[in-house]
């Protein structure tokens, strides 16, 4: 087989890039190791920056998003069981949209089927070759047969544990990483959300987040030990801890019910540099991870998609052979700024294992300062709604 671009990874970033390239009449193929059912079973975050919404519109993947997405004009921050609101609309005249990552992926898969897209699910043993030459190719197994695709470029959208970054010699990569000493225990419940906007809560016993998927489906998180086990958390224990950490008014109005899904996710900041190696490009979690505190993971992957899509269009349509060489620099500038914001949110809202009373007072003072400073609120709002692509 021969194509212009091979995309390894059929998650939201790989599918979005595929759709954009197809619309630009750039020939491409997607290789995904899992079945569609498995990909759509993964529960992920659901806060989209305006830039991400605009990019999905450009990809013609926003029809259901327009009908079912929830526009949020702010968030609530809480400390000592008292909350106040950060008003994005009045501060920076921008908003975010709550729409589940699984639903984004579902919409993109629908377009792939509709457009007769070249998508191979259950592609096994995918390996990129010769990406430091002018003849890169990818080999894989599908339906028991070995296949080979010759191409111009290989794009790694296969996540943190994917194959693409692992094929790059370690002496060519610079890794910067911080692994946080706690995780998030997440619970999905068929209950109405406690608030119509997200609540981020600092508490002396640990962090909590009140989020949602829709009007009847809530998503809540508690900070927990990285070595904890979901078996240790009965629904009763979870709801009691959540009530303890939320603002008093939210705790009193919280509707509880049986959990639908329960899991613990680790938190880390991770950046791999550069994001281009010859004709191989890294996108999204294949190159960087941020803690979920600022809702940036998917949005950061989509900004990578934007930069790479623009570069590939210039390369193939404008005969600008240098355009792809700027991708890594452009993407990494935004990656590091976003990583800084996610680190700040995480450091301000969570309780660390060795945290003293002094550290807790500093966090509370930081949050109280935010309440009284419109300038500080504007800086937070600018970052939360998303830095420009």
- In angstroms, the CA 163 to CA 126 distance is 7
**Which residue of the set 99, 200, 306, 327 is catalytic?**
200
Judge contact between 6 and 164, C-beta under 8 A.
Answer: no
- In angstroms, the CA 358 to CA 96 distance is 34
**Which residue of the set 12, 33, 72, 118 is catalytic?**
72
Active site residue 161: no
Active site residue 169: no
Active site residue 141: no
Q: CB neighbours of 74 closer than 8 A, spacing ≥ 6? A: 85, 86, 87, 88, 89, 197
**Which residue of the set 12, 128, 136, 292 is catalytic?**
292
C-alpha of 124 from chain center: 25
**Which residue of the set 220, 306, 315, 384 is catalytic?**
384
Q: CB neighbours of 226 closer than 8 A, spacing ≥ 6? A: 180, 181, 182, 183, 266
Active site residue 89: no
| Closest-CA residue to 64 (of 21, 108, 14) | 108
Active site residue 292: yes
Q: CB neighbours of 207 closer than 8 A, spacing ≥ 6? A: 200, 201, 221, 222, 223, 245, 293, 349, 350, 351
What's the angle, vertex CA 177, arms to CA 105 and CA 156, rounded to 5? 35
**Which residue of the set 288, 296, 327, 350 is catalytic?**
296
* Active site positions, annotated: 72, 200, 292, 296, 384
């Amino acid at each position: 087989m021969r194509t212009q671009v091979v995309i390894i990874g059929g998650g939201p970033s790989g599918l979005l890039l595929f759709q954009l390239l197809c619309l630009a009449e750039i020939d491409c193929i997607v290789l995904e190791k899992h079945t569609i059912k498995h990909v759509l079973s993964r529960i992920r975050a659901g806060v989209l920056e305006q830039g991400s919404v605009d990019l999905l519109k450009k990809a013609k993947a926003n029809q259901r998003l327009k009908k079912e997405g929830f526009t949020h004009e702010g968030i609530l921050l809480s400390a000592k069981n008292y909350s106040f609101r950060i008003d994005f609309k009045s501060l920076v005249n921008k908003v975010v949209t709550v729409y589940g990552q699984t639903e984004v992926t579902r919409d993109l898969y629908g377009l792939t089927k509709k457009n007769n897209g070249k998508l191979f699910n259950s592609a096994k043993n995918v390996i990129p070759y010769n990406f430091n030459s002018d003849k890169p190719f990818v080999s894989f197994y599908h339906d028991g047969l070995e296949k080979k695709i010759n191409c111009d470029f290989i794009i790694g959208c296969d996540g943190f544990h994917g194959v693409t970054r692992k094929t790059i010699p370690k002496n060519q990569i610079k890794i910067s990483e911080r692994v946080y000493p706690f995780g998030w225990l997440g619970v999905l419940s068929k209950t109405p959300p406690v608030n119509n906007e997200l609540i981020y809560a600092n508490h002396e016993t640990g962090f909590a987040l009140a989020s949602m998927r829709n009007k009847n489906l809530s998503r809540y998180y508690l900070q927990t030990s990285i070595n904890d086990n979901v078996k240790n958390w009965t629904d009763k224990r979870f709801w009691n801890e959540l009530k303890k950490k939320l603002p008093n008014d939210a705790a009193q109005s919280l509707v509880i019910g049986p959990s639908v899904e329960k899991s613990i996710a680790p938190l880390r900041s991770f950046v791999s540099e550069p994001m281009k190696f010859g004709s191989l490009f890294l996108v999204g979690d294949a190159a960087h991870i941020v803690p979920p505190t600022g809702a940036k993971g998917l949005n950061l992957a989509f900004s990578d998609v934007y930069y790479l899509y623009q570069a590939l269009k210039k390369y193939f349509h404008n005969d600008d052979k240098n355009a792809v060489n700027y991708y890594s620099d452009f993407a990494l500038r935004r990656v590091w700024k976003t990583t800084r914001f996610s680190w700040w949110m995480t450091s301000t809202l969570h309780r660390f294992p060795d945290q003293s009373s002094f550290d807790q007072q500093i966090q509370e003072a930081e949050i109280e300062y935010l309440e009284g400073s419109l300038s500080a609120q504007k800086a937070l709002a600018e970052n939360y709604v998303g830095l420009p692509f």
